[in-house]
Structure formats: C-alpha cells, structure tokens
C-alpha cells in the first residue's frame, strides 16, 4: 500500500512539473498582443505580465505550413510560425514588391526562409494565406487617444495599453529613463573626463543588465547570450547615449581617449575626429526623432536579437524574437503616433547606421582610462557568465 501511495505521489509530481513546462512553453510561443486583438488578462499582483490564453493542445504540435517551424496558431487563414506571420503582415500592409535573384524556386524552410523574400511571400500565398485577412493601418478612434498618452513622461504608468512584452522590456531598465537622462542634462556644460567615463561605464553595464532581465534572453544558451551582446554592445551603447542625452563634445572626448599621452600623426588625429563626428551624428539623429522610452526598449530588442551573431545554436529562434520585437514596435508606433505614418520606417532606417560607429573607437573614447587594454567583449562575457550585478570594478571613487 505504501509503495502504491509513493507511485501515485511521484506521478502527481511529474504531472505538475509537466504542466509547468507546458505553461512556460505557451508563454514563450505567445504572439505579441496587439490592440486589435482581445485585451490581455493581467495576473493578480503582477500588472506588467500579460497572461496569454493557452493554445489548444492540438495546435502545439502543428508545423508552420510555410517553413516547417513550430506553429504558434492560425494566422491569416493558415497555421504558421510567428516569423512567417509577421513577414506576411508586413509585406501585405506595405504592399512590398520583392525580386528573386535566382529562378523563383528558392527553398523556404527554417534555415533558408530569410534568403529570398520573393519566394517566401510566393509560398505564403500558394499555401493559402489571405491578403484580405490583414487589417491595414489600424488607427485608434478618438476614444482611445487619451489612453495612449504617456503620463508625465513615465512609461510605467501607462502599461494598460502596452503589450505585456513591451511592459517587461521597460521594467528591465536598471534605472528610470528620466533619472538617467537628467543626470546628463544637468551636467551637460560642465561634465569632465572622469564624469564622462563614469557615465559611459554605467551605460554599458545598464545595457547588459537590461538584456539579462528582458523576456526570452535569459532562456537562451549562455554562448548565444555572449555572442549576441559581444556583437551588439556598441549599438546598444549608442542608443543609450542618445536616450540619456549624453554630451558628446569633441574636446573632452579627445582627452578621454588619451591622445595627449600617445602622440599621433596629423592623419590619425583627423581620422579619429571623423569617427567622433560619426558618433555625434548618430546620437543627434536619434534625438531629432524624439524617440520615447517604449520605442527605445523595442529598438534595443530588435538590435540585440540579431541573426548576424556568429555561432548561434538556434538562429530561427533568435530571428523569431527579433520579429516579435519589431512587431511590438510597429503596433506601438501605429497606436501612439497615428498622425506620423512614416515614423516606424524612420526608426528602422536608423538601425543599419548604428554599425557605422566603430566599437573600437567607442572603447578608445570612453573605456581606455578605466579598463586599459582589456577588451570590452571580455568584460561582457565575464559579466554574463559570472552573473554579477551592476558594478564597475574600475570605477574611480570621487
């Protein structure tokens, strides 16, 4: 009898664990909650975590009819993954026209679906995805407009209209944006070398802390986390510099780079100042767009989840996370800025130019005084693998 009770107890425990695993998978595969869909149910006591209705058990085993990846549900008439759903929606909404560089019969599967957009869209239509099912340009009515206004510039006070995903991105910020930015603005005219380097260190660490706390990133394998951050840290740094209105005057930057300590030829000085100019331009162009906190969080997620990183164990999964972030940004911009139909496109067009800012130049400008010859990529790897919290061992004590 005791043995039978023990077996029943083990079976019950196994069932509970299995249920927990299923629930977690359902949340991971849940699509972004858009305004036109049913409103999210907020978990009691956890207002920023949207509870996504579980998918039927049968749909969890269905493959995407386009690329063969795991389906997240029925989208535009067919069972597809999040990636193909987002791709089809973007293509139809913007009436995009693609060109095939081969013979219009490129393979469309998990590993090749990004190689030819023409053949991917062609297959979407061939398998029965319906153009008419994509709602065009959903603009909120006047009754919703007040709901979408930021309250006192604090993005966390307006979580009711944000998807659970964007809310969690915002919650992951180590410091409130207003506090982070006001420190820069107050000292804009008098900020010296030490203060600039200290602020740069804080921005770098805040980027790593943010990544470690956003949805999905902590669930990636450790080597994938390292690969993503090592590739994108400089882009995240530029975004943070623009977000906090970091002063980028030439004179203190040249001093911070230590050019006075090691004589350079005139050509090298000119080249280095040109790099500073590029950095300044990227920061200023983001400032001109007046990007808000929710947009910055989504943009940073789009930058972070890049398939360009070498050695990723699951490229398709990272791609789906990037597309999820891009979809969240698009829905937010359409709702928040209905009178700026080109705003989403302008934000995306800023992303490729972020890579024009050399990571080695950023190291020379802001970090050489603090870490010497230690590569930033090494520090990022050590931070992620050690799990250390926000701290800077090289920070000078004032």
In a shared domain, residues 281 and 355: yes
Domain count, the chain: 2
Q: What angle do CA 43, 44, 48 make, to 5 degrees?
A: 50
- Our CA angle for 283, 287, 290, nearest 5°, is 150
Q: Which residue has the higher pLDDT, 38 or 84?
A: 84
Most confident of 80-89, 171-180, 382-391: 80-89
- Using the 3D structure, point to which of 133, 167, 185 is the last residue of a domain: 133
- Residue 92 — very low, low, confident or very high, per pLDDT cuts 50/70/90? confident
- Same domain, yes or no: 184 and 287: yes
Encoding tokens for residue 233? Answer: 């840290």
Q: Look up the CATH number of the domain holding residue 123.
A: 3.30.50.10
Instruction: Kindly state whether residues 226 and 170 are assigned to the same domain.
Output: yes
More confident residue, 89 or 397: 89
The answer to whether residues 96 and 190 belong to one domain is: no
pLDDT, average across residues 23-32 = 43
Using left for φ > 0, alpha for ψ between -120 and 50, and beta otherwise, residue 291 falls in beta
DSSP state of 212: H
Tell me the CATH number at 380: 1.10.565.10
In a domain, 165, yes or no: yes
What is the span of the domain harbouring residue 248? Answer: 155-386
- Split at pLDDT 50, 70, 90, the class of 387 is low
Do the beta carbons of residue 233 and residue 380 sit within 8 Å? yes
Provide the pLDDT confidence category of residue 199 given band limits of 50, 70 and 90: confident
Residue with the bigger pLDDT between 381 and 3: it is 381
263-307 pLDDT, tens digit per residue, is 566 676 777 778 788 888 888 899 899 999 899 999 999 999 999
Whether 259 and 377 share a structural domain: yes
Contact criterion met (CB below 8 Å) for 335 and 148? yes
Residue 290 lies in a domain: yes
Residue 349 inside a domain? The answer is yes
Structure tokens at 124: 């979407």
What's the burial of 187, exposed, middle or buried (CB within 10 Å: 0-12/13-18/19+)?
Answer: middle
Higher pLDDT, 27 or 125: 125
- Whether residue 119 is predicted with pLDDT greater than 80 in this model: the reply is yes
Tell me the C-alpha distance between 328 and 176, whole Å.
21
Using alpha carbons, list the distances in angstroms from residue 157 to 28, 97, 145, 313. 25, 40, 16, 38
């Amino acid at each position: 009898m005791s043995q039978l009770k023990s077996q029943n107890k083990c079976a019950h425990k196994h069932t509970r664990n299995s249920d927990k695993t299923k629930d977690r998978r359902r949340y991971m595969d849940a699509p972004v909650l858009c305004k036109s869909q049913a409103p999210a149910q907020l978990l009691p006591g956890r207002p920023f975590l949207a509870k996504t209705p579980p998918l039927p058990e049968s749909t969890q085993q269905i493959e995407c009819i386009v690329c063969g990846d795991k389906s997240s549900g029925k989208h535009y008439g067919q069972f597809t993954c999040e990636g193909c759903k987002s791709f089809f929606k973007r293509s139809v909404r913007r009436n995009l026209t693609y060109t095939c560089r081969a013979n219009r019969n490129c393979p469309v599967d998990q590993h090749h679906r990004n190689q030819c957009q023409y053949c991917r869209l062609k297959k979407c239509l061939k398998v029965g995805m319906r153009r008419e099912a994509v709602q065009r340009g959903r603009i909120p009515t006047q009754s919703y407009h007040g709901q979408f206004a930021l309250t006192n510039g604090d993005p966390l006070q307006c979580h009711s209209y944000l998807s659970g995903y964007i809310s969690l991105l915002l919650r992951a910020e180590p410091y409130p944006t207003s506090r982070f930015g006001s420190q820069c603005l107050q000292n804009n005219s008098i900020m010296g070398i030490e203060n600039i380097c200290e602020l740069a260190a804080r921005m770098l660490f805040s980027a790593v802390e943010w990544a470690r706390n956003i949805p999905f990133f902590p669930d990636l394998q450790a080597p994938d986390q390292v690969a993503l951050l090592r590739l994108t840290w400089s882009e995240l740094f530029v975004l943070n510099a623009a977000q906090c209105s970091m002063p980028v005057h030439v004179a203190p930057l040249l001093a911070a780079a230590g050019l006075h300590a090691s004589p350079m030829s005139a050509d090298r000085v000119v080249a280095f100042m040109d790099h500073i100019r590029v950095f300044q331009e990227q920061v200023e162009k983001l400032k001109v767009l007046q990007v808000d906190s929710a947009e910055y969080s989504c943009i940073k997620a789009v930058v972070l989840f890049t398939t360009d990183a070498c050695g990723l164990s699951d490229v398709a999964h990272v791609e789906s996370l990037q597309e999820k972030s891009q979809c969240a940004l698009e829905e937010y911009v359409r709702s928040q800025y209905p009178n700026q139909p080109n705003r989403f496109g302008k934000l995306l067009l800023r992303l490729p130019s972020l890579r024009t800012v050399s990571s080695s130049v950023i190291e020379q400008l802001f970090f050489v005084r603090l870490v010497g010859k230690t590569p930033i990529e090494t520090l990022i790897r050590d931070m992620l693998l050690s799990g250390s919290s926000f701290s800077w061992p090289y920070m000078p004590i004032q």
